[in-house]
Amino acid sequence: MTDLTTLTITDALAKLRARAITAVELTQAYLDRIAAHDGAIHAYLHLTAERALADARAADEARARGEDRPLLGIPLAIKDVLSTKGIETTCGSRILKGYVPIFTATAVARLEAAGMVMLGKTNMDEFAMGSSTENSAYGVSRNPWDQSRVPGGSSGGSAAAVAARLAAGALGTDTGGSIRQPASHCGIVGLKPSYGRVSRYGLVAFGSSLDCAGPMTRTVEDAARLLAVMAGHDPLDSTSVSAPMPDYVAELQGGVAGLRVGVPKEYFIDGMQPEVERAVRAAVAHLEQLGAQIVEISLPHTDDSLPVYYIIAPAEASANLARYDGIRFGARVDQGDMWATYKATRGQGFGAEVKRRIMLGTYALSAGYYDAYYGKAQQVRTLIRRDFDQAFERVDVIAAPTAPSTAFKLGENANDPLKMYLEDVFTLPASLAGLAGISLPCGFDDAGLPIGLQMIAAPFNEALLLRAAHAYEQTTEWHTRMPELA
């Protein structure tokens, strides 16, 4: 019998609807694989096996009654930064250990309403701050292609779960590249929607003007199916946009013939891994063979994205994480008086990277420095957005590398924060500009590690972005490769 965990979401739905398999069989296949392999990969922080099987039985009963919902019976994993009612939500941090929300994030609730079976909550860099999942307070996740390497971050657990076939798909979040970069390192598809396309309600905040929830899957079509369920206006989120909602799955067809694909010269830099540049340029050439018009473009403020991001995001984190004080939210280290309790709770509850970013952000917002740092960063952010606006007057989508290198060894960048921050150098600009971006497999390096092609579209143009990515994917075979687990 076919290993059910090799089925894409699209294929699994077809078999479920044809009654060739049941949701219980599909869910049990994933739970068995998790039991066999997640001890080594550590993709999950919390497994909800009993609930998953109960949801699967309910899905089979609903289908027997004639119901058919977009994801009825599909087992998915949820990044542990998204609130789930009755299920511990830690954000990979000691300070939220034992926190069980009384509500569910809108993006998750919409997946549940569509029939999702929740397998559990996935590992992540603490409060989504990191590019390797090494900042989790609960241990590192490992890359299924080479378990001595990182899966990327901060959605590393979600990426590893999908790549290792420990979930049919997963939900991640992207503040500066945290869906796209781990998708690249793990050889899967990761979609960051436009800012405002998917509700942030129930997403524990890191950078409020940047955070986006999005799908991580094995194919572009699967990502389109999840986005179609998650997207749309939410009155509970004041940043949620009421923009027209296309039929993302129906609009996948059409190819790239006649599309203008921009290739930014600033995204091919000295020091990037040669195999990455070769693979991405080959992917661009393939798009040209499919009928796309390749246009070299310039995004002149690309180099400013890293310093701008590392002022704005830590500043917003400083404000957002002030609530974890041992009094109102999170764990408490009682020292007898308020200030001692406050210091002990935050000192013991937060990890080193979170502390580093809180201090950076607090400094940038402090009296006498606000205009020089945060104010200036916001002005340059506007220039970055204008670069993209001007580019999209000439092109329909942009194609570039997702990351400058393939997955690095665990611990390799642990003592070099700047080197770690440079991991997101190609994903930060689209985040700062609020654009839609996707990473999909486009090759492997000499060590057999996946390489990601990043495609970027104008705000709320996810349908065109998915169409272009689907055209590339369906005429190549990179997405069909799966890592072998011992």
User: Active site includes 178?
Assistant: yes
User: What type of residue is 388?
Assistant: F
| Cβ atoms of 282 and 399 closer than 8 Å | no
Q: Which of 79, 93, 131, 199 is catalytic?
A: 79
Q: Which helix (H) or strand (E) holds 412?
A: none
Q: How far apart are CA 101 and CA 86, in angstroms?
A: 6
Q: How far apart are CA 83 and CA 96, in angstroms?
A: 12
Q: Enter the DSSP assignment of 373.
A: I
Q: How far apart are CA 150 and CA 135, in angstroms?
A: 11
Sequence-distant (≥ 6) Cβ neighbours of residue 27 within 8 angstroms: 52, 53, 55, 56, 73, 75, 117, 119
Lay out the sheet containing 75-79: strands in order across: 44-47, 117-122, 75-79, 169-174, 212-217, 189-192, 436-444, 450-457, 397-401, 260-264, 293-297
The sign of the dihedral angle between the CA atoms of 220, 225, 230, 232 is positive
| Cβ atoms of 354 and 318 closer than 8 Å | no
Q: Of 87, 84, 232, 80, which Cα lies nearest the Cα of 170? A: 80
Q: Which of 93, 132, 154, 240 is catalytic?
A: 154
| Cβ atoms of 445 and 273 closer than 8 Å | yes
Q: Which of 131, 178, 184, 240 is catalytic?
A: 178
Q: How far apart are CA 175 and CA 454, in angstroms?
A: 16
What residues does 263 pair with on adjacent strands? 296
User: Active site includes 343?
Assistant: no
Residue 26 structure tokens: 């599909």
User: Active site includes 155?
Assistant: no
Residue 12 structure tokens: 């699994």
Residues that are catalytic: 79, 154, 178
